[in-house]
Amino acid sequence: MRSILAAAVQRLRGRRQTATRLEGLTCIPVTVESVVNLEGPGEFSATLLERIANARERILISALYLQDDTAGREVLAAIYAASAVRPELQIAIFVDWHRAQRGLVGKAASPGNAALYVEMARRLGPGVPIYGVPVQSREWMGVMHLKGFVIDDALLYSGASINDVYLQRFDRYRLDRYHLIENRALADSIAGLMTRILQTNTAVRRLDVEPQAKTGSLRGAIVGLRRVLARSRYAITAGSVGNGEVGITPLLGFGHRDNQLNAVILQLIKRTERRLVVFTPYFNLPGPIRRALEGRLRRRCRVTIIVGDKTANDFYISPEDPFKTIGALPYLYESNLRRFCKIHQGDIDEGLLDVQLWSHEHHSFHLKGLLSDDDYALLTGSNLNPRAWRLDLENGLLIHDPQGGLHGQHQAELGRILARTRRLDHHTALDDTGTYPVPVQRILKRLARTRADRLLNQVL
């Protein structure tokens, strides 16, 4: 019995040791001039296409999806063109296995984006391998949410995937955060996980060839992949930050145990003394984050939460349009926010809690990340919700900026975002559930009656 208890204690100690303090994290020194905050989806799209066209060594992309639409076809065609000019290019694209093989939520059934990959490979040749990464045997249990575009020595990092709205085609955009970082060591680190961990795993299969494996036949391999991911980290060589430099640490997050990204997020919140800025697209905070924020408010730290208005949610359906069940989600998130603001109305009145709602015409909001005081920033694809916290495969970049070299860029980005927001002075400024469309009221009442709303919040 003692040996069993001793082993359990040792495992817990090992778990604590994995949650390294921020100051002790290994980082990659990067010159301030090498970090550029791109101003919007248009500049991000133009930069991506320009970098692809001029690639000399490699194009490695990780995104939730590359969609069969105008922007998706344009990016894929550009990569095929680059491959034709330079056949020696190292090329690989990684997307979620499940998402690639279904249609859009709320739309008619379809073979998904994989049909595009097969069609283009058949027509243009096998020069652009596209891999499906199955984080779980079912999509609702977890998806591949890693982000990063490695082109030669540069890393384009954004929470955006590849489709018309993310790349601002036609008359709509979905706002995210966009950073271009020129650094060989950082690019190698992000690329290494794609090629060293994902590309070589038996659970990860090509989506641009036929026949494609059935998910059922991969169950054993998926279990093995999950075990590998649970103990994986980005490989980096330690360096010290000199004058005119920042330190960047790439972080991997997977599962609710020993999750490096989650641990750093909590440490980042808890170490903030003066001002913390939180970006999240869907207000559905995991319990640990909510409690950490409440701890900061008790210590009179100013907390700013920037979240999308329900009308800026991906799934919002105008009351004039035919209703679909998925359209209840934005209202569920608004209900979460209203309860949170009601509990913390005193903090709002004192100016400690600043909740900013973003909206811009018919465009949507997808920002994620943190700004802590003036010396730390987190870029991430994590939505900071329970699904990201427990189920999805996530990543992020922690930037330590002890000299404040990027302070101006962060403030300029924040200013552009806040230009489209309105401050919530009182929780009653948010719509009450009684004002929601009748179909939404029915769904939310049914969920609350069966307590299914709590379960739903854990997987959304």
CATH number of the structural domain spanning residue 426: 3.30.870.10
- What tokens were used for 364? 């949507």
Structural domain includes residue 248: no
Question: What value does the mean pLDDT take over residues 332-360?
Answer: 97
Angle (CA) 7 13 17, round 5°: 145
Residue 382 three-state SS:
coil
* Residue 169 forms part of a structural domain: yes
Query: Do residues 161 and 36 both lie within one domain?
Result: yes
CA gap 37, 50 in Å, rounded? 16
Q: Give the range of the structural domain holding residue 317, as residue numbers without chain letter.
A: 256-390+392-459
Q: For residue 197, is it within any domain?
A: yes
Percent of the chain with pLDDT over 70: 92
Q: Which pTM does this prediction carry?
A: 0.92
Copy the structure tokens of residue 430. 């948010």
> Does residue 184 share a domain with residue 35?
yes
Of 179, 344, 366, 400, catalytic: 366
176 classed as catalytic = yes
d(CA 22, CA 26): 9
Asked if 268 and 362 sit in the same domain, the reply is yes
274 and 210 share a domain? no
Q: Looking at the predicted structure, is the pLDDT value of residue 9 above 90?
A: no
Looking at this protein, which amino acid is placed at residue 368? K
The burial of 200, by beta-carbon neighbours within 10 Å (0-12 exposed, 13-18 middle, 19 or more buried), is given as: exposed
Known catalytic membership, residue 453: no
Query: In the predicted model, is pLDDT for residue 319 greater than 90?
Result: no
Query: For 391-441, what is each residue's pLDDT tens digit?
Result: 999 999 999 999 999 999 999 999 999 999 999 999 999 999 999 999 999
Q: Which of 98, 139, 145, 413 is catalytic?
A: 145
Domain-embedded: residue 13: no
Reduce the DSSP state of residue 57 to 3 states and report it.
coil
Give the model's pLDDT for residue 3.
41
- 410 noted as active-site residue: no
Question: Predicted confidence band at 160 (pLDDT cuts at 50, 70, 90)?
Answer: very high
Residue 296 lies in a domain: yes
Decide which of 230, 247, 266 is a domain's last residue.
230
Instruction: Measure the CA–CA gap between 41 and 167, rounded to whole angstroms.
Output: 5
Say what the pLDDT of residue 22 is: 87
Task: Identify the band that residue 458 occupies on the pLDDT scale cut at 50, 70 and 90.
Answer: low
Catalytic residue among 394, 400, 413, 427: 394
Looking at residue 1, what is its pLDDT?
Answer: 37
Count of domains forming the chain? 2
What is the DSSP secondary structure assignment for residue 420, as one 8-state letter?
A: T
Q: Say whether both 311 and 379 belong to one domain.
A: yes
Same domain flag for 99 and 145: yes
In sign, the C-alpha dihedral spanning 334, 336, 340, 342 is: positive
Q: In this structure, is residue 221 part of a structural domain? A: yes
Count Cα atoms within 13 angstroms, Cβ side, for 78: 20
- Could you tell me if 317 and 438 lie in one domain? yes
> What pLDDT score does 302 carry?
98
Asked which of 196, 230, 264 is the last residue of a domain, the reply is 230
Q: Is residue 444, in this structure, part of any structural domain at all?
A: yes
Q: Do 403 and 328 belong to one domain?
A: yes
**86 falls in which pLDDT band (50, 70, 90)?**
very high
Q: Which of 96, 164, 176, 188 is catalytic?
A: 176
Residue 7 has pLDDT above 60, yes or no: no
366 is catalytic: yes
Residue 5 pLDDT exceeds 90: no
205 and 337 housed in the same domain: no
